[in-house]
Amino acid sequence: MHILRVDSSTRSEDSISRKLADDVVAQHVGATITTRDLSNGIPHIDAGFSRATFTPPEARSDADKAALAVSDDIVAEVQAADLVVISMPVYNFSIPSTLKAWIDQLARVGVTFHYTENGPVGLLEGKRVIVVSASGGTPVGADYEFASPYLTHVLGFMGLTDVSFIGAAGEEGLVEAERSIQALAA
């Protein structure tokens, strides 16, 4: 099994979402792990990125290739994974901006999804995603929590439809999240 771990907390020390991701990964003894730590920074898409994505691969200039280099790496990491573990704090009722930038780099027409006469079709099928989230008091699924519906939709759009959420809202939520993670091993 190959795991892609995506960490999006700005905190490396004392991050609850990272600790929960550690626990999820520990349930998969012997797995190989690739880690992408978004706190190290990730470029936002820009005009060069957009131009390059709409240029056929055989016609891309060196500048186009450079504009897509991070995206190409991110896409390859997800394509190679059997399991994607996303550690995510809930900031202001939603996902961190770095996680949004990662999604923007991943979502590429003709690469991770394509359009058909019947609508869009995701191209990243057959992978499981576990999102572990932590917040000071915004539980997964609350009317005012926008992270999980957004992630479910956008990941599903790219074919990642097997998405589970384990959330820790406050101290009492941490205990329940740890129980949920232990249940993964059962």
Q: Where are the domains of the chain?
A: 2-185
Mean pLDDT, range 29-36, rounded to an integer: 97
pLDDT value at residue 185: 63
pLDDT value at residue 49: 98
Mean pLDDT, range 8-35, rounded to an integer: 94
pTM over 0.85: yes
Mean pLDDT, range 174-181, rounded to an integer: 84
How does the average pLDDT of the chain come out, rounded?
A: 94
pLDDT digits (tens, 9 = 90+) for 101-127: 999 999 999 999 999 999 999 999 999
pLDDT value at residue 169: 87
Please tell me the class of the 2-185 domain: alpha beta
Q: Model confidence at 132, in pLDDT bands (50, 70, 90)?
A: very high
Q: Chain centroid to CA 145: how far?
A: 17
pLDDT value at residue 178: 87
Long-range (24+ apart) CB contacts under 8 A made by 90-95 are: 90/133, 90/134, 90/135, 90/138, 90/145, 90/147, 93/138, 93/144, 93/145, 93/146, 93/147, 94/146, 94/147, 94/150, 95/8, 95/147, 95/150, 95/151
CA distance 169 to 87: 14
Q: Indicate if the pLDDT at residue 186 is higher than 60.
A: no
